[in-house]
Amino acid sequence: MRTQVGIIGAGPAGLLLSHLLHLQGIESVVLEARSREQIESTIRAGVLEQGTMDLLTETGVGDRMKAEGALHHGFELAFEGKRRRIDLTALTGKSITVYAQHEVLKDLVAARVAAGGSLYFNVSDVSIADIDTEAPSIRFVHDGVEQTLMCDFVIGCDGSQGVSRATIPAARRNDYERVFPFGWFGILVEAPPSSDELIYARHERGFALVSTRSPNVQRMYFQCDPQDSVDNWSDDRIWAEMHARVDSADGQRLIEGRIFQKTIVGMRSFVSTTMQHGRLFLAGDAAHIVPPTGAKGLNLAVSDVRILAAALRAFYREDRTDLLDAYSETALKRIWRAEHFSYWMTRMMHRLDDASPFEQRLQVSELEHVTTSRAAATAMAENYVGAAVV
């Protein structure tokens, strides 16, 4: 097999890159270990920044997002029994859309299938060779047959457990990581929305988040021990915890409903530098992870592939390599900004077991500041909707 760009991973980064390349007349093949059904049904949160919304719309895959996603012009911060709103649109002129990641994947898969794109699901035994040459290759097994994909470039969009990052020599990489001592207990609930917008809550018992998935389904989270088990949490215990952390002193209460999914996810920050070696480039979770507090994960993947698509276009149409050569440096500016914002949000909103009473009061003071100072609120809003990094 032969193509111009071989893409490993059919997550947001891989599928969107393949779509962008197709629009520029550049061939690609996407390889994915999971089935199409798996990637389209694995429910993950999705808060889309203005730039992500705009790109999906401009490239013809945003119709369902606009029709079914929830457009939000702000969010609420709950603390000390009160709620205060950050008005994103008034502060920045931009907004966000709550649209689950698996719905984005459905739209991108449909677009690639409609365009006759080469998508291989259920592949295994993936390996990458010859990245230091102008003819790298990807070996894999599909339907029991060993195959080799020859290409000009390999783009690793296969997440933190994939083969791509490990293919870059350890001597060339610096990995930076912060593992948090808490996780998020997530639930999906059959209920009407408890709020018109997202609610981020800081409470002495721990963090909580309320988000809308549809008019009838809500996603909620609360801070927990990452080693805990969902079996330890009855529905009554979950609701008692959520009410304690989110309900306000003026009588605003969460609306309960049937809980039909319970999960626990860990929290960590991670960045791998470099994001390129030879003809291999990393994008999305293969290169970086952010805690979900800042809603940056999917948006960073989109940012990465937007940069890569422009660089590959310059290579094929103008015989330029400067944008490809500068890919890591360019992408990492945005990544480190998002990592800092996500870390700041996480530290401000969560219960920190090692924090002294003094430090806990500093958290409250910070929340008072960002909800009463227009300058501080603007800085928060700019980062939340997607800060531009030059």
HEC profile of 318-336: HCCCHHHHCHHHHHHHHHH
Give the Å distances, CA to CA, from 205 to 223, 225, 290, 320: 8, 12, 23, 55
Q: How far is CA 146 from the centre of its chain?
A: 32
Distance CA 39, CA 103 (A): 10
Instruction: Give percent of the chain with pLDDT exceeding 70.
Output: 99
Mean pLDDT of 89-104: 95
11: left (phi > 0), else alpha (psi -120 to 50), else beta? beta
Do 127 and 33 contact (CB within 8 A), yes or no? no
pLDDT at 387 over 80: no
Over the stretch 305-320, which tens digit does the pLDDT of each residue have?
Answer: 999 999 999 999 999 9
Over the stretch 57-78, which tens digit does the pLDDT of each residue have?
Answer: 999 999 999 999 999 999 999 9
Overall fold of domain 180-266+353-386: D-Amino Acid Oxidase; Chain A, domain 2 (3.30.9)
Distance CA 297, CA 288 (A): 8
CATH code at 5-72+95-176+268-345: 3.50.50.60
pTM: 0.94
pLDDT at 390 over 60: no
pLDDT of 59? 97
Distance CA 226, CA 369 (A): 30
Q: What is the mean pLDDT of the chain?
A: 95
Mean pLDDT of 219-243: 97
Over the stretch 124-170, which tens digit does the pLDDT of each residue have?
Answer: 999 999 999 999 999 999 999 999 999 999 999 999 999 999 999 99
User: What is the pLDDT confidence band of residue 241, given thresholds at 50, 70 and 90?
Assistant: very high
User: What is the pLDDT confidence band of residue 250, given thresholds at 50, 70 and 90?
Assistant: confident
Pairing of strands 280-282, 153-156: parallel
pLDDT of 389? 52
DSSP state of 255: P
The answer to which of 45-54, 122-131, 208-217, 222-231 has the lowest mean pLDDT is 208-217
Q: Which helix (H) or strand (E) holds 235?
A: helix 235-246
Mean pLDDT of 25-52: 93
pLDDT at 42 over 90: no
pLDDT of 388? 64
Domain boundaries, the chain: 5-72+95-176+268-345, 180-266+353-386
Instruction: Give percent of the chain with pLDDT exceeding 90.
Output: 94
pLDDT of 249? 86
Over the stretch 326-368, which tens digit does the pLDDT of each residue have?
Answer: 999 999 999 999 999 999 999 999 999 989 999 999 999 999 9
For the chain, report the end-to-end CA distance as a whole number of angstroms: 39
List, by residue number, the catalytic residues.
72, 200, 292, 296, 384
